[in-house]
Structures are given as structure tokens and as C-alpha cells.
Amino acid sequence: MTRLLTLLVAALLALPVAAEAQKPIKVGMPIPLSGPAALFGEPASKGAQMYVDELNAKGGVLGRKIELTIRDSKADANEAVRVARELILKENVDFLVGTLTSAEGPAVSVVAKENKIVFIAPIPKTDQLTAADKLHPYVFRVAANTTMEGRSAAEIVAKWPVTKIATIAFDYAYGQDVTKAFVEHIKKIKPSVEIVDQQWPKLGEQDYNPFINAMMAKKPEAVVSSIWGGFFVTFSKQAKALGMFDAVKYNFIGLGEAGSPETTKSMGADYPVGIWGNSYDAFYWDESSPAHRDYTARISKYLKDEYPSSWAIQGYIGMQFLAEAIKKANAADSEKVSKALLGLTVDTPAGKLTIREKDHQANRGQLYGKTVKEAKYPFAIMKPVTYVDPTKFMD
Amino acid sequence: MPDLSFVFAQSLSGLTAAMFLFLIASGLSLIFGVLRVLNFAHGTFYMLGAYAAYQIVLWLGTGPASFWIAALGAALAVALLGGLVERFLFQRLYGKEELYQLLFTYALVLILGDVAKLIWGTQQKSLSRPPGLSGAVSLLGATIPYYNLFIILLGPAIALGFWFALQRTRAGRLIRAAALDRETLGALGVNVNALYTGVFVLASFLGGLGGALITPMRAIVPGMDTDVIVEAFVVVVIGGLGSFWGTFLGALIYGQVLSFGILFFPRFSIFSIFALMAAVLIIRPWGLLGRPLR
Amino acid sequence: MSVRRIPWVALVFVAALFVPTLGSRYYTFLANDVLIWALFATSLNLLVGYTGLVSFGHAAYFGIGAYTTGILMKKAGVSFLLAFPAGGLLAALFALVFGFFCVRLTRIYFAMLTLAFAQIVWAVCFKWNEVTGGEQGMPEIPYPDFGWVDRLAAFVPVLGGYRTAEQFYFVTLILVAACLLILRRIVGSPFGRMLATIRENPERAEFIGVNVRRYELAAFVLAGAFAGLAGGLFGIFNRGVFPDFAYWTKSSEVLIMTLLGGMGSFWGPAVGAAALIWLNQQIVSYTEYWPLVLGTILVVLLFVFPGGIAGAVTLLLRRSRPGVARA
């Protein structure tokens, strides 16, 4: 009788502990789900969700499941801040993974700092996020930044038989920074290069004809663009009609993920095959690791898409880093996790990535390649596609 | 020094942009002229026209005529939607304050925008130029795509067709009369409500057609409705709210300002629309060809 | 005991004082948000409801106030005591300049010019990287210095033990209450009554010798000033100032709040602000299609309850009063 009683008491005492262990780890994800940036934000949120679903199926991390709450930040810094604070104050999230634009990232970073909550940014590229005066213990980035992107592009363009280069970029932080990084680096590694023209359409421009005409009047031999998403589709349709790609003999590189499968797929036959582009991921990346091929199979099934989005991987990697850090810290506590993230190396589908201690930036490079028409697919792909390791570009 | 071929190319870009805007803004101008309301949802009809055209091409496949059928079909579908909205919803607000009518059109923007997102999602869509017009011609050293030429010619064609219809046909005369004095028109026994519905349908048709025809030149993305409505406003304001040729002129001017503006003020294109609108409203609010409306 | 006799406003104020102690951090956050928007919406109603001028660009002054206070506090280290009224002052100045051109127009032209000016303000904030931080805005606006509160708390214990966010909430509550009281006095004054006369029939007002434009401009400036004050508070509350404070979507949000609450009543917009904010955060937890819901609510309002919540409540009260002839 006493044995039974003891067991009962022990079970009752264990119950709150067990209940505590059963409580899910809550992660908040403010990311654009509407507007032009939804093209990236929605798949990224799905990639994150897939990782969480798979992890929970295996029992979660530290015996606890992860609960992901995704909210629309509308690609608006103001909204992102509001959403982030609601997630913290109302939903009581333990961590934040998200944001997309270069304005959202630093804005939410401040919220994370004041609330002492770990914030992993999977997409914003602005250097400002991890700049020395803005860095704090709780912000981390697993995306490439504009310095890495601009310099990687410079290395590629330097190998082309061209000296007269024109740039076209949106007139805001991302466009300005990536162009600056490109120009500075290429002048360093190939001093004979001359930047003959720079065009700055406003963010969200719909009519690029005047800019393209003005650029072509200066007769560049190559063009470096960072026009992204649906705007790249608009831009290149207009550019192709005006014969711009022919005029520069397809010595064109489209930063801002113009080589991504989404873009080539949506444009179909209109895509200016022969240009260079970059992308965070490509389902057709043949020389990738078995881990990547496995990931591609899973994301393809999850998204119910034969040619899955290239943006899902960023959400996936963001969550992966968080989960691994929780495991390493053996606690779902922001203080411990923030220390665990420093120098953490994770085997992601895109290869081994490490968050360096200096600026909380992961060495996340991107895939670069020249687009070709491949019979196997109804759209162009980058081939050969190379992963450019950005480690040497990071100061 | 800019050479001739560059100036020529730039002014033709301006013309193409102008004619697209005219196509879209003419519907806006028509509704304002007759119904005296600024229809915010006009940009949404434009967007729906684009999505509808995309959808129809998806169903028909890529044949030589599928683009044109899709464009017409999309315009008709949007016209039908416009008619239904006007007849069953908008008509009930006619007696009420202008603010309510304006806010209703804004509510439409919210609702229809999300409906489009529900149906077509957030990924960008794109349509190619129709097979007959996919090439380009070289004029004075500048490359002019055939499709751009088609739009440049279509604009004035529609303007003339319109003008003819307004001046010579009975329906046209009724529309012009309604724009001047709707009460008297009603007193004369004309079914003003049916006229209003007709005007709304026509304007929606033009908006939807504009959206469908622009798809070979632009991506179809969420947010394209709000982008175009502001430009359409500016064009109508410059020309004069309610003036038909004013809209045409406003579009021409705006197109050239956009084209050459980036040469003189390279990084200020973000200001151009609103600076222009403010300037016109301060200096000459009734626009170039409008009637002083107090 | 008639419903009207109950001092609702005083009750709400007292209840608001207890939100941080009785409610969670989230409710303090929400209440703070509602207070600021209530001021913003009431300032707009001075133009829309009381003077009959529909502005599509009221967010411009909100943004100017936010940037002024934010820049002064963050970059120049100016104290909140000076930076806050400075925000209102600069907003009033811009309202004077912009308003001068706007009041020369009527109806849709007036609305379009207010929109154009607001978008120009937005564009300047977006592009002027050096001063406004460009499109990334200015994240991390410092809270006002609350050191004196902690020192005072040694003598007055009830003041102690609050987090900075809560201390700022009290500051907001007191300042917003003061501003709303001032606005209430303005609309009740002869000046306010003149505005109502102008709203009813501008030509008649002109006929009896009223300088309509001057009154309209005065209303415009006052509305802009209070919007600027609201903006200054919001920049600090939001932990950052961003260009879209001045974007047209903000103007449309505050206009909808004013309509939802009821343009015909003084407290209507404040109620509308509370209602819309509460509704928004309820809906977004279930669906990302908030615009669809908002649009539908707007349609229902326009067709069924054009007087907004305040109008519906007034109607209800009138019907429930015994002995009153049914209209």
C-alpha cells in the first residue's frame, strides 16, 4: 500500500515536470505573405514549417515540440515591428526567425535586442543588420549579405572579356549597397574596368524602357543588375524587346536571384537565356551533396511542386540553426542559445555553414551560373551551376 | 550629347507608356466625368484583367490567336464584374455623401485584391507577346518592338473611336448630357441608372483591356493595382477630370516626363508622379482641358 | 439613471490607469497603441467630421512629427520634454504650408492634393538617407529619461516598480488625455461651431462674411499639429521611425478608423481606433486575408451603419429611451 502511494506521489510530482517538458518551444516568424515580396516570403515560411514538422515528427528538440507562428509582415518595417512585438507579448514566443527586406531586418533586430530574444534573419541582405554599431548578442543572419553578393559577382564579371560595365539597381538600400560592393571590388581586382553608366529606377518601377534606352546609349559591354522578383520579370521582358541582351552579347548578370527556378519558370520562353544569375537554391543542382538531393525530394513533396521554390531553403536553414543551437545549449533559453549560436556549424542542405563570432554572419554563399535551355525542363536553368563560397569576401 | 536615335527611342518609350496609361485612365476619366466619383477600384479591374488574360491563355494553350481571345475575354469578364458591382452595390450609394462612394471603391480594392491573391496566389505570372507581334523594327538607329508600335497605334485609335462615339451616337450624346446635368436628363425620361451602369461597364472594359494588353510587357504580380491607380489619377488630373482629350493629352505629357525626367533628375523618379500632381493641382487644378469645377 | 449621465470618459481614463498593474505586458502594448491612434484619428476628425474636409494625406503630419521627435531624441540627444512639442510644431508648420494650397481647392481636388503632399513627404523620408535613415528608417528611438520617476518613487511608492515600457504608457495616457481635452474644448468653442457651419454650407458661410479659407486653414493646421504629436509618441512607442508612417496606407487606416467609430461624434474616432486595432489583431491570428475582412467590414459600415459605432450606439440609446417619439 505504501509502495503504491509512493509511486502515486512520485508520479504526481513528476507530472508538472513532464508537463513543463511537454510545453512547446514557441518560435515567431514575421515574414511578408502579401505584396511583391510574398514571392520569397511565402516559400520561406513553408520551408521553415517543413523543418518544424519533420523535427516534431522525430520528437522535437530536448523532448519538446516546436510551435511555429507565422505572421504577415507585409514587407513593411513598421508592420514587422508590430507583428514581432505581438508575437513576443501576446503569443509569448521564445525565439524569432524571420523578416525579409533590408528595412524589416534591422527594425525587428531592435525589438529582439530590447526583449532579449534570439532573432535569426534568413533573408535580409543589408550589411546594416550585422554592422558593428548595430550588432548585439541576439541577432544572427543565415542569409548572404550585400558585400558577399556584390563581391562574388565582381569575381565572375572580372573573368568576362569586357571593360565597359553598366549597373542598374533599385534606388534604395539593397540596390545601392550591392552595387557599391560590386563596383569597389571589381575596380580592385580588374583596374581596367570602367563603369560607363549607372541607372537607378525607383523601387517597384514598372516601366524600365527609359532606363534601358539611357543605358544602351552609353554602349556598355556588360550589365550588372540587382532588380529582383516580379520586377526582374518586367525588366527583362522590356529589355529583351528592346534588344538589350543582344547588344551586350548576353554579358549580363542578374543579382537578386534572377537565376532562380521561380523566375525562369514564370517567364518560360521569354527568359533571356544566356545571362548569368544567382539563386539561393536550385532543385537541379546536380553536383550537390546527398543531403541536398534528399532535401529537394522532401521539399518537392511538401510543396507539391515538381520544381520547388528556391526560397524555402532559407526558412529551413534558419530553423535548422535555431534547433541545433537549442540542442547544443541544452536549453530553450535565449541567453544560452545566443551563446550556442556563436561559431556553430550546421550541416545544412546547402553545405556546412558556420555562424562566425565576429559579426554573427553565416558564410552563406549563393549559386551562380550561366543560364541555358535544357530539354529536360520547360524553362531555362543555370548550368554549370557553382556554389560560390563567400568566406574570402567576408571582412 | 544625346544623339538622334537615343532621343527618338526615348520619346517612343514615352509614347508607349502614355498610350497604356491612356487606355487605363480613360475609364477612370469616364467614370469621374459622368458619375462624379473617383473609382479607386479601377486599378483592381486592370489587375483582374491581367490575371484573367493569363488564366484564359492557360486554358486555351499557346495558339496564334489565343492571346487576342484572352485579351478580349478578360476585358469582357471584367466589364461584367463592373456591371454587377455597380448595379447591385454601387447604385445604392448614389444619394449619399461622396466620401462613402470613395470609401466603397476603396473597400473593393481591399476585397478584390485578396480575392485575386486567393485564386492566383502570390507568385509572379507572365505572358509572352503574341506570335504576330514578337519582333522589332529598327528605325533611325533605335530598336522599336512591334508590340510597342501596336500599342502606340491602338491608343489614338481608341481615342478616335471613343470621340466619334461620344459625338455622333445617341448613347454618346446621352453620356455627355449626363456629365453636364444628370437631373435634367432624368427629368427628360432617360433611364439614368441604366446609363450609369453602362458607363461603368464600358470603363471597366477599358480597364480590364488595359490590364490584359499590358501582360506581354510586365509581370503580373500582387500590388500592380495600387501602382497603376496613382499614375492613372495623375494623368487624369493633368488633363482635367472629366475631359476626354484632356486624359489623352495628360497621358502624352506624363509619358514624356517619365522618359526624359530620368535624364535631368536621375534619382528622383520616385517624386515625379506626386510632384507633377501637386504642381498641376496648385497651378491649374482643373487641368489643361478641364472645366473649372468648384 | 440614464446611460448618458454616466461619466464614461472619466471611467475609461481611470480604468486605463490600471492596465499595467492588472493586465499583461501585451495589454499595455495594445492600450498604448490604441491611445496614440485615438489621438491621430480624433485630429483627423477635426478636418473630416467637423469641417467637412476629407484628407487623404493626414499621415504626412503623423510622419513629420515622428521623424522630428525621433531625430531630435536619437541624433541630437534632445530631451523628450522638448522633442515632443517640437514634433507637433514642425508638423503644424508643414500643415500651414501644405494647407495653404490645399484649402484653395474643394472636395476631390482637395483630397488629391493632400495625398500628393503626403506622398512627397514619404518620398523625402524614403530617399534622404543621411537625415531620415532612408528606406530603412531609424530603428531604436530612445525612451524618454525616466530617472526622475525612480528617484521620486523613493518618496511616492506607488510610482515605483514599473518597466520602462509601462512608464512610457503612463506618459502617453496623460499626454493623449490632455490633447483630447484640448481638442474637445476647441470643437466646443465658437471656432469649432464656425467649422460646423462651414461644413454644412460653405457658400452660406461665405455670404455671412466668414473667411472660410482662413478657418479651414486653421483647422488644417490644428489637425496637423495634433497628428504630429501623435506621431512623436508613436515613434518612441514603435521603437523606430519608418518612412511608411507617411504613406497613403496609413492615411487610409486612420480614415477608416474615423469612419468606423463615427465621424459625427467627438469620441467616435477614438472608439473606432480601439475597435479597428482590436479587430485587426483578432483576425490576423486566424487568417492572412485581413484586407478581405477589412473591406467587407467597410462595405457593411457604408451600407448599414454609415454613422459608425457611435452612430449605431446613439440610435440604440434613442430607441431605448422611454417617452421619446420614434423618428
Contact B93 C302 (CB under 8 A): yes
Measured CA angle at A367 (ends A364, A373), to 5 deg: 165
Measured CA angle at C226 (ends C221, C232), to 5 deg: 125
Alpha helix (H) residue ranges in chain C: 8-17, 19-22, 25-45, 59-74, 80-102, 107-127, 129-132, 147-153, 164-188, 190-200, 202-207, 212-237, 248-261, 268-283, 290-304, 308-320
Instruction: Scan for cell 510644431, then name that residue.
Output: C89
Q: Is B183 in the A-facing interface, judged by CB distances under 8 Å?
A: no
Chain C interface test: which of A73, A89, A99 (most C C-beta within 10 Å): A89
Q: What's the pLDDT at A328?
A: 93
What residue ranges in A243-287 does DSSP mark as E strands?
Answer: 252-254, 276-279
Max mean pLDDT range (A67-71, B62-66, B123-127, B224-228): A67-71
**Cα Rg of chain B (Å, integer):** 19
Contact C290 A106 (CB under 8 A): no
Contact C306 B108 (CB under 8 A): no
Separation between Cα atoms, residue B31 and residue B77, nearest integer Å: 18
Query: Measured between CA atoms, how close is C98 to chain B, in angstroms?
Result: 10
- Nearest residue on chain A to C139, judged by CA atoms? A107
Whether the pLDDT of residue A252 is over 70: the answer is: yes
Q: With bands split at pLDDT 50, 70 and 90, how would you rate the model's confidence at B249?
A: very high
Would you tell me the crossing angle of helices B4-35 and B146-168 to the nearest 10 degrees? 30
Q: What's the pLDDT at A11?
A: 62
Q: What's the pLDDT at A150?
A: 94
Whether the pLDDT of residue B291 is over 90: the answer is: no
- The residue among A237 and C149 whose pLDDT is bigger is A237
Residues belonging to chain B with any Cβ–Cβ distance to chain C shorter than 8 Å: 38, 89, 92-93, 96, 98-100, 102-104, 106-111, 113-115, 117-118, 230, 233, 237, 241, 267-268, 270-271, 273-275, 277-278, 281-282, 285, 293-294
Query: Measured between CA atoms, how close is A144 to chain C, in angstroms?
Result: 18
Whether the pLDDT of residue A67 is over 80: the answer is: yes
Whether the pLDDT of residue A68 is over 90: the answer is: yes
Which strand (E) or helix (H) includes residue A288?
Answer: none
Q: What is the mean pLDDT of residues B149-174?
A: 87
How many residues can be counted in chain A? 395
3-state helix, strand, coil in chain A (%, to 5): 45, 20, 35
Contact C291 B98 (CB under 8 A): no
With pLDDT > 90 as the criterion, what percentage of chain A qualifies? 69
DSSP of C172-239: HHHHHHHHHHHHHHHHHSHHHHHHHHHHH-HHHHHHTT--HHHHHHHHHHHHHHHHHHHHHHHHHHTT
Separation between Cα atoms, residue C131 and residue C321, nearest integer Å: 57
Q: What's the pLDDT at A81?
A: 93
Q: What are phi and psi of A224, to 5 degrees?
A: -115, 120
The set of long-range contacts for A285-293, using a CB threshold of 8 Å and a minimum separation of 24, is A285/A367, A285/A385, A285/A387, A287/A385, A288/A349, A288/A387, A289/A349, A289/A351, A291/A347, A291/A348, A291/A349, A292/A349, A292/A350, A292/A351
Contact C240 A71 (CB under 8 A): no
Q: What's the pLDDT at B221?
A: 86
Query: Measured between CA atoms, how close is C30 to chain A, in angstroms?
Result: 9
pTM as predicted = 0.90
DSSP of A15-69: HHHHHHHHSPEEEEEEE--SSTTHHHHHHHHHHHHHHHHHHHHTT-BTTB-EEEE
Whether the pLDDT of residue A219 is over 50: the answer is: yes
Chain segment A20-62, per-residue pLDDT in tens: 557 899 999 999 988 788 888 999 999 999 999 999 999 999 9
Q: What's the pLDDT at B294?
A: 47
Q: What's the pLDDT at B2?
A: 60
Chain segment C257-281, per-residue pLDDT in tens: 998 998 888 999 999 999 999 998 8
Q: With bands split at pLDDT 50, 70 and 90, how would you rate the model's confidence at C64?
A: very high
Chain C interface test: which of A34, A49, A88, A90 (most C C-beta within 10 Å): A90
- The residue among B270 and C168 whose pLDDT is bigger is C168
Separation between Cα atoms, residue C113 and residue C107, nearest integer Å: 10
Contact A77 C24 (CB under 8 A): no
Q: Do the bridges between strand A351-354 and strand A345-348 make them parallel or antiparallel, or are there none, so unpaired?
A: antiparallel
Most distant CA pair in chain C: distance in Å?
66
Whether the pLDDT of residue C130 is over 80: the answer is: yes
| 8-state DSSP, C308 | H
Q: What's the pLDDT at B19?
A: 93
Chain segment A124-183, per-residue pLDDT in tens: 999 889 988 889 999 999 999 999 999 999 999 999 999 999 999 999 889 999 999 999
Q: With bands split at pLDDT 50, 70 and 90, how would you rate the model's confidence at A269?
A: confident
Instruction: Scan for cell 481608341, then name that residue.
Output: B158
Residues of chain C contacting B275 with CB distance shorter than 8 Å: 116, 120
Three-state secondary-structure class, residue C151: helix
- The residue among B4 and A233 whose pLDDT is bigger is A233
Q: What's the pLDDT at A10?
A: 62
Q: What are phi and psi of A199, to 5 degrees?
A: -110, 140
Share the mean pLDDT of chain A: 90
Q: What is the mean pLDDT of residues C28-50?
A: 94
Q: Is B227 in the A-facing interface, judged by CB distances under 8 Å?
A: yes
- Type of residue found at B117: K
Chain segment A316-341, per-residue pLDDT in tens: 999 999 999 999 999 999 999 999 99
Dihedral of CA atoms C257, C262, C264, C268 in degrees, nearest 10, equals -80
Separation between Cα atoms, residue C177 and residue C164, nearest integer Å: 20
Residues of chain A contacting C66 with CB distance shorter than 8 Å: none
Contact A214 B147 (CB under 8 A): no
Q: What's the pLDDT at C1?
A: 47
| 8-state DSSP, C119 | H
Residues of chain B contacting C256 with CB distance shorter than 8 Å: 103
Whether the pLDDT of residue C150 is over 50: the answer is: yes
Residues of chain B contacting A205 with CB distance shorter than 8 Å: 269
Residues of chain A contacting C126 with CB distance shorter than 8 Å: 172
Residues of chain B contacting C105 with CB distance shorter than 8 Å: 281, 285
* Range with the poorest average pLDDT among B37-41, C1-5, C266-270: C1-5
Separation between Cα atoms, residue C119 and residue A367, nearest integer Å: 38
CB distance A128 to A103 below 8 Å? no
Handedness of CA B247, B250, B254, B255 (dihedral sign): positive
Max mean pLDDT range (A121-130, B91-100, C279-288): A121-130
Nearest by CB: B122 against A42, A202, A213:
A42
Q: With bands split at pLDDT 50, 70 and 90, how would you rate the model's confidence at C254?
A: very high
Q: Which residues pair with A40 in a beta bridge?
A: none
Q: With bands split at pLDDT 50, 70 and 90, how would you rate the model's confidence at B72?
A: very high
Between A and B, how many CB-CB pairs are < 8 A? 112
Contact A78 C245 (CB under 8 A): yes
- Nearest residue on chain A to B226, judged by CA atoms? A35
Q: What's the pLDDT at A18?
A: 52
SS (H, E, C) chain B: CCCHHHHHHHHHHHHHHHHHHHHHHHHHHHHHHHHCCCCCCHHHHHHHHHHHHHHHHHHHCCCCCHHHHHHHHHHHHHHHHHHHHHHHCHHHHCCCCHHHHHHHHHHHHHHHHHHHHHHHCCCCECCCCCHHHCCEEEECCEEEEHHHHHHHHHHHHHHHHHHHHHHHCHHHHHHHHHHHCHHHHHHCCCCHHHHHHHHHHHHHHHHHHHHHHHCCCCCECCCHHHHHHHHHHHHHHHHCCCCHHHHHHHHHHHHHHHHHHHHHCCCCHHHHHHHHHHHHHHHCCCCCCCCCCC
Max mean pLDDT range (A380-389, C119-128, C306-315): C119-128
Residues of chain A contacting C238 with CB distance shorter than 8 Å: 78, 81-82
Q: What is the mean pLDDT of residues C66-72?
A: 95
Q: What's the pLDDT at C271?
A: 93
Q: With bands split at pLDDT 50, 70 and 90, how would you rate the model's confidence at B266?
A: confident
Separation between Cα atoms, residue B292 and residue B284, nearest integer Å: 9
Chain segment C308-325, per-residue pLDDT in tens: 888 888 888 888 766 555
Q: What's the pLDDT at B64?
A: 82
Residues belonging to chain C with any Cβ–Cβ distance to chain A shorter than 8 Å: 24-26, 29, 126-127, 134-137, 139-140, 238-240, 242, 244-245, 281, 284, 288, 290-291
Contact A77 C139 (CB under 8 A): yes
- The residue among C242 and C284 whose pLDDT is bigger is C242
Q: Alpha carbon of C144 to those of A42, C169, C239: distances in Å?
A: 38, 11, 12
Query: Measured between CA atoms, how close is A72 to chain C, in angstroms?
Result: 7
Q: Which residues lie below 8 Å from residue A319, measured CB to CB, with a gap of 6+?
A: A27, A47, A48, A51, A52, A55, A66, A68, A97
Residues 159-218 of A with CB under 8 A from C: 171-173, 203
Q: What's the pLDDT at B93?
A: 84
Residues of chain B contacting C112 with CB distance shorter than 8 Å: 38, 233, 237, 277, 281
Contact B277 C109 (CB under 8 A): no
Query: Measured between CA atoms, how close is B123 to chain A, in angstroms?
Result: 5
- Nearest residue on chain A to B145, judged by CA atoms? A241
- Type of residue found at A349: P
Q: Is B222 in the A-facing interface, judged by CB distances under 8 Å?
A: yes
Q: Is B145 in the A-facing interface, judged by CB distances under 8 Å?
A: yes
